[in-house]
Amino acid sequence: MNIIIIGAGKTGEELIASLLAEDHDIAVIDPLYSVIENIQESFDVLGICGSGVVTETLGEAGAADADLVIACTPQDEINVLSCVIAKRLGAKSCIARVRNPELNAQTHFMRRELGIDTMMNPDYYAAHAISRILRIPSASKVDSFAGGRLDMVQLKVAPECSLVGRALFQLPSVCKTRVLVSAVKRSGESDAIVPSAGYVIQAGDILGLTATHADIHRFLREIGALSEPIRDVLLVGGSRIAYYLAKTLLEGGMHVKIIESNQNRCVELSRELPKARIICGDGTDHELLIEEGVRNMDACIALTGMDEGNIILSLYASSEGVGKVIPKINKKALITMSSHVGLDSAISPELLTADMIVSYVRAMGQSGGDSAIRTLYKLLDGQIEAMEFVVQEESASVIGIPLSQMKLKKNLLVAGIVRGSQVIYPGANDQFHAGDIVIVVASNLHLSSLSEILAE
């Protein structure tokens, strides 16, 4: 597929790495020559120094023959205009990254009148990813499928946990609630795996558990890993993520306090979030944090513009007894490093957006009515992919065949089937029906459609 990426910042760079791994041809446009030079030194792409709203630059990048244009510069208006111009030049499909809540409110108009196929908001995605974790604070990461009917959570196994020393096939004898362990990463080892039934759980393992929201809570209670519900939340930094997150948490009945240093922004937040308490001050001042009751908070979310500051803030809040801390971290390397110093949960808007765009690209590559990928999450440092498919009637190769009779690819697990309101934990005799939502977990397979789960 011929893809043009406009804007080679953190999101653009993550997209380049992900899409090159799937053998797409990529052209990158950025106004800074130094950025283009660095990108071309790191990746095998066509780099063009210029603006994404200039027809000559888009023409040089091949917009007339492009299958997809992704505009992810820091400026929303530039992204929208780049997509409009690229479409007029002949690009088949366009994605614009748009953060402004007012512009996002016009999504339907922009799609209908301007021809923008998809608008993606990293701040909105990040806020909802954080809110999902706060609903299950024992987990380091929570992803949802099938409109929230099925969850996949990452859980670090404590030394005192009753799961330690148990093989996966023994779990029904340990607890009554059924969950499916669909991914595992062992402490000290670099590779994550899709485990077999004989895998023996050890302390420090990070498990990827798939179940309904209610079953996850029951399971955590049975193994003694259920944390107290989150009630009081402190947000440090009044960014757009803080706005979306506070709005969601307040609607869920939580109490929210926001510390923001910019007085004008504090006024805006007070107007937009009348039920939240807004404090104008320096969130990195430990005396202010103590004065504002950080020690009494159930959760602290660090949302300033600096990764390193967010990490330090989170470590400090944890040292003061806050049960759940979540820093916003954009640098992928820092996310990995932070996990080694006890910060199991971290959110990256750029990585979330890149994953969603990758799933969109894979779905674009499918035709003929096959069951294309609908949702994609990357787990355990990106080594495992969890994907959601909707079974189409045309997918004859997978419909009506018991799983025990399917020859599935290695390193792959069917983690869940959602049929209407029914959630099925797949067994040997279960089958796919048209209309089912199927959750598949796989390692390094880059699946685009449900039929690709079958070995050749």
Give the start-to-end residue ranges of the domains of the chain: 2-120, 137-222, 232-322, 368-453
Q: How confident is the model at residue 6 (pLDDT cuts 50, 70, 90)?
A: very high
Whether the predicted pLDDT of 379 surpasses 80: yes
Predicted local confidence at residue 258, as pLDDT: 98
- Considering the entire predicted model, what is its pTM? 0.89
- Tens-digit pLDDT profile for residues 91-122: 999 999 998 888 877 878 888 888 888 889 99
Ordered DSSP codes for 368-409? TT--BEEEEEEETTTTEEEEEEE--TT-TTTBT--GGGS-BP
Contact in structure between 151 and 213 (CB atoms under 8 Å): yes
The listed CATH number (3.30.70.1450, 3.30.70.2740, 3.90.950.20, 3.40.630.30) that belongs to domain 368-453: 3.30.70.1450
Predicted local confidence at residue 364, as pLDDT: 81
Phi, psi of 186, rounded to the nearest 5 degrees: -85, 140
Contact in structure between 350 and 10 (CB atoms under 8 Å): yes
Q: How confident is the model at residue 370 (pLDDT cuts 50, 70, 90)?
A: low
Predicted local confidence at residue 299, as pLDDT: 97
- Tens-digit pLDDT profile for residues 50-93: 999 999 999 999 999 999 999 999 999 999 999 999 999 999 99
Q: Residue 325: which residues within 8 A CB-CB, separation 6 or more? A: 299, 300, 301, 302, 314, 315, 317, 318, 343, 345
The listed CATH number (3.30.420.40, 3.40.50.720, 3.40.640.10, 3.20.20.70) that belongs to domain 232-322: 3.40.50.720
Tell me which CATH code domain 137-222 carries. Answer: 3.30.70.1450
Helix (H) or strand (E) holding 360: helix 349-364
Predicted local confidence at residue 29, as pLDDT: 97
Q: How confident is the model at residue 271 (pLDDT cuts 50, 70, 90)?
A: very high
- Between 298 and 331, the higher pLDDT residue: 298
The CATH fold assigned to 2-120 is Rossmann fold (3.40.50)
- Tens-digit pLDDT profile for residues 170-192: 998 888 888 999 999 998 787 89
Work out the angle at residue 380's Cα, subtended by the Cα atoms of residues 363 and 242, and round it to the nearest 5 degrees: 80
What's the whole-number mean pLDDT along residues 352-363?
86
DSSP 8-state class, residue 200? B
Same fold? 137-222, 368-453: yes
